Amino acid sequence: MTQQTEFNQELIAEKALVAREVVKVYKGSSSPALNGLNISVNQGEIFGLLGPNGAGKTTAISIMSTLLRPTRGNITIYGIDIVRYPNEAKKLLSLVPQEIALYPNLTARENLRYFGRLYGLRGQQLENRIWESLERVGLKERGDERVFTFSGGMKRRANLAAGILSKPRLLFLDEPTVGIDSQSRNMILEKLALLKNTGTSMIYTTHYMEEAELLCSSIVIIDKGQSIAEGNPQELINRTPGCSSLQDLFFAMTGKSIRD
Amino acid sequence: MLKLYATILKELLLLRRDRAGLLVLFVMPAVLVLVVSLVQENVLKTIGGTSTRILFVDKDRNSLGETIEDRLREFGSLEIIKELDGQKIDEKSAREAIINGDFQFCVIIPGGITEAVRERARQLVTRSLLTDDIPLKNDIDVPDLVVYFDPTVRGGFRSAVVSSLNMAVLSMEIREKARIFSELLPKQMNKIIQEAIGPYVSEKFVEDIPKMSLDWSSQRMMGIKEKLAFSKDFETIPTSVQQNVPAWALFGIFFIVVPMAGSLIRERQDGMLMRLLTMPVSYLTLLSGKVIAYVLVCLIQFIFILIIGKLVLPFLGTSMLEMGSSPIAVIMILLSSILAATGYGIMLGTIARTYEQASMFGAISVVIAAALGGVMVPVYAMPKVMQEISAFSPLAWGLDAFLDIFVRRGDIKTVFPEMLLLLSFFVGTMLISWSYSFRQDRTGV
């Protein structure tokens, strides 16, 4: 191994996630869903993955979280090749899906206990983690109620609690604030900011540009499976003429026509 | 191991809280076993499985009526009724009682039949002994015996009753012919001897011609011994309980495909599967946990149905379920059947896109497989084509194996082919599910 390669390997290992030239072509589709996507996420940062409908965000999240295999390209999480070593990578990551991925007939605590055991947690450590997670999302008092009795905002917070239970080093958040009241949304954003301070890296997708502007230290805007802008949101806004917000930048990059 | 245990525990907890699922898994097969066993127990009464009350109208009041009555009594399973509400029954009231469905059939012995049969027998025997030069009288008409049947009486039982009556009539005819024959033969011999030797023959000689005894006409030479084809001596005769308890228990086991497929689809639709697959746990562990949980539930369900067959049904007046003498064979077939059902549930849950699709197709396919498998009507009673199709139903394999053990007293060797078929079905459905999931994993479609 040359010195340069070793240096590159160390750099990759320092990054929370590195995706290089990732291509995904679905069977039967004429155009690729992802076409040479490059992403680099630093440790402890919230990275915004933005794009209109059909841009390839869900495919990118699915590949980066080991759910789908890329057609081509290379992805590492803290230096671990996720295609070759998915099980090792899974120990470091966690996903908060857009759907309320909880068993409605179980209580919040029972849901978390099940997920915790799947991460290999047990005994007092498991109970402590459940307590911490519920406490972080403000559901400590409601942990023994069944999820189907929760309001929309409570369900979203419980969904987040399941994501942070394992103390992941990289957390994927797929539109975690969609369809909830302002108070719950505000609370989730505050909790995510606190989580960032603990060193957890996050990849965050949202259609709310003000959220991304507020939370994310880096963003990538993708369209038609390709990265069309990447960097610090403020720098990108400043660099683009006529843009005073991330919303303006987003429209400038992807247009205002409706995507279905 | 912790992950597998966690998944089993979670599935059991979810099932415990799913009231509709519990109804499908426990109450439905229990109700079906109870209702169908009791109903079929009653049907057996109408087709001869138990004692049947029949009406008997004897307008002749002579020996033929008595002989037929004796024959019907020998039938064993018939209770002969000659009076209703203290009144002698006539043909009209008997017919009305049959039409009303109060009785399954009625035998009418027409008036003067005994005399007519005797005359006819005398005529036939005389004719057989006479020479051509004696003029023949016209045939004597013998009135027909009439049997009224309730239209619901099954063909097999109807044939048995008619055959029994035929036997009674035939034996009486033989006896009557023999009696006339033994009466006429010495006279005829006397006449022939006298014609041949002339008046020189001693009258004493003619009187000494031996008289024939009538015993020969009614003495049986060959017997028929009925035996049930069990592999060993076994006292249990197949009853509705022996058929229905394993049949509906299997039906209940296979109905787990609905909640099982439903839980898989809900996990997929709610993003749960997405979350689970990003966790450090293999899909095989998740599926195994689900399968083991449902196997445990099905075992409890089977025990529950057995308790109904052993305790509840006998309490309601049916016979008790007998389970043969090979508990190992029962356990092996039970586990194989449960695995086949869970495999089918997983395949359905993997392939179906919506819960509605899975519940509709799952329920209908299980009902069809049950009908083909002999759960509702025994396979041997089906048309030949259906019997051939039935060979492809996993419920038929399971039920056949259970009947082999419970009724034919088979053991593990006897049911090995069915066990192999059920386990192959499980492996096949799991492979289909795996290849479908693998295709989705690779292609994202």
- From chain B, the residues in CB contact with A24 under 8 A are 444
* Chain A residue closest in CA terms to B8: A114
CA distance B401 to B248: 14
Average pLDDT over residues B52-67: 83
Q: What is the pLDDT of residue B186?
A: 77
- Contact state of B278 with A69 under an 8 Å Cβ cutoff: no
Domain boundaries along the sequence of chain A: 1-28+37-92+171-226, 95-167
Q: What is the pLDDT of residue B436?
A: 85
- Contact state of A117 with B3 under an 8 Å Cβ cutoff: yes
pLDDT tens, position by position, B250-283: 999 998 999 899 989 999 888 898 899 999 998 8
Q: What is the pLDDT of residue B203?
A: 61
Average pLDDT over residues A54-76: 89
pLDDT tens, position by position, B188-231: 777 777 777 766 666 666 566 666 676 766 677 777 776 666 55
Confidence of residue B296 (pLDDT cuts 50, 70, 90): very high
* Chain B residue closest in CA terms to A106: B14
Asked if the model's pLDDT at residue A130 lies above 60, the reply is: yes
pLDDT tens, position by position, B93-141: 888 888 777 787 888 888 888 888 888 888 888 877 765 555 556 677 8
Interface list for chain B against chain A, based on CB atoms closer than 8 Å: 2-3, 5-7, 9-10, 13-14, 17-18, 269-272, 274-281, 441-445
Q: State the ipTM, two decimals.
A: 0.89
Q: What is the pLDDT of residue A96?
A: 92
- From chain A, the residues in CB contact with B445 under 8 A are 26-28
CA distance A199 to A185: 22
* Chain A residue closest in CA terms to B275: A95
Please tell me the class of the B51-218 domain: alpha beta
Are B189 and B134 in contact by the 8 Å Cβ rule? The answer is: no
CB pairs A-B closer than 8 Å: 92
Which percentage of chain A shows pLDDT scores above 70?
93
Lowest mean pLDDT among A162-171, B72-81, B228-237: B228-237
CA distance A242 to A237: 9
Tell me which of B54 and A88 has the higher pLDDT.
A88
The domain made up of A1-28+37-92+171-226 is a member of CATH 3.50.50.60: no
CA distance A257 to B402: 66
- From chain A, the residues in CB contact with B438 under 8 A are none
Average pLDDT over residues B43-60: 70
- From chain A, the residues in CB contact with B270 under 8 A are 99-102
Asked if the model's pLDDT at residue B381 lies above 80, the reply is: no
pLDDT tens, position by position, B418-433: 999 999 999 999 999 9
Confidence of residue A11 (pLDDT cuts 50, 70, 90): low
CA–CA distances in Å: residue B383 to residues A25, B135, B153, B243, B358: 53, 56, 20, 19, 30
- Contact state of A122 with B2 under an 8 Å Cβ cutoff: yes
- Contact state of A67 with B274 under an 8 Å Cβ cutoff: yes
* Chain A residue closest in CA terms to B281: A118
pLDDT tens, position by position, B303-319: 999 999 889 988 888 87
Q: At CA A76, angle to CA A171 and CA A170, rounded to 5? A: 10
pLDDT tens, position by position, B147-183: 888 776 766 777 877 887 887 788 778 888 888 888 8
- Contact state of B278 with A94 under an 8 Å Cβ cutoff: yes
- From chain A, the residues in CB contact with B1 under 8 A are none
Q: At CA A226, angle to CA A224 and CA A227, rounded to 5? A: 130
Contacts of B329 (CB under 8 A, 6+ apart): B401, B405, B410, B411, B412, B414, B415
Q: Does A148 touch chain B (CB under 8 A)?
A: no
Domain boundaries along the sequence of chain B: 2-44+245-443, 51-218
A149-163, A236-250, B120-134, range with greatest mean pLDDT: A149-163
φ, ψ dihedrals at B147, nearest 5°: -125, 120
Confidence of residue B445 (pLDDT cuts 50, 70, 90): very low
Average pLDDT over residues A33-51: 89
Q: Does A98 touch chain B (CB under 8 A)?
A: yes
* SS3 label, residue B243: helix
Q: Strand order in A226-231's β-sheet?
A: A93-96, A170-174, A201-205, A46-50, A218-223, A226-231
pLDDT tens, position by position, B353-376: 888 888 889 889 999 998 888 888
Contacts of B214 (CB under 8 A, 6+ apart): B175, B178, B179, B182
**What is the pLDDT of chain A when averaged over all its residues?**
86
Asked if the model's pLDDT at residue A75 lies above 50, the reply is: yes
- From chain A, the residues in CB contact with B259 under 8 A are none
Q: What is the pLDDT of residue B238?
A: 63
Average pLDDT over residues A31-59: 88
Are A202 and A47 in contact by the 8 Å Cβ rule? The answer is: yes
CA–CA distances in Å: residue B271 to residues A18, A174, B401: 25, 11, 41
- Contact state of A114 with B277 under an 8 Å Cβ cutoff: no
* Chain A residue closest in CA terms to B16: A105
Nearest to A90 among B6, B269, B279 (CB): B279
**What is the pLDDT of chain B when averaged over all its residues?**
82
Which percentage of chain B shows pLDDT scores above 90?
24
Nearest to A26 among B13, B441, B443 (CB): B443
Nearest to A101 among B7, B270, B280 (CB): B270
* SS3 label, residue B148: strand
CA distance B46 to B157: 8
φ, ψ dihedrals at B408, nearest 5°: -90, 5
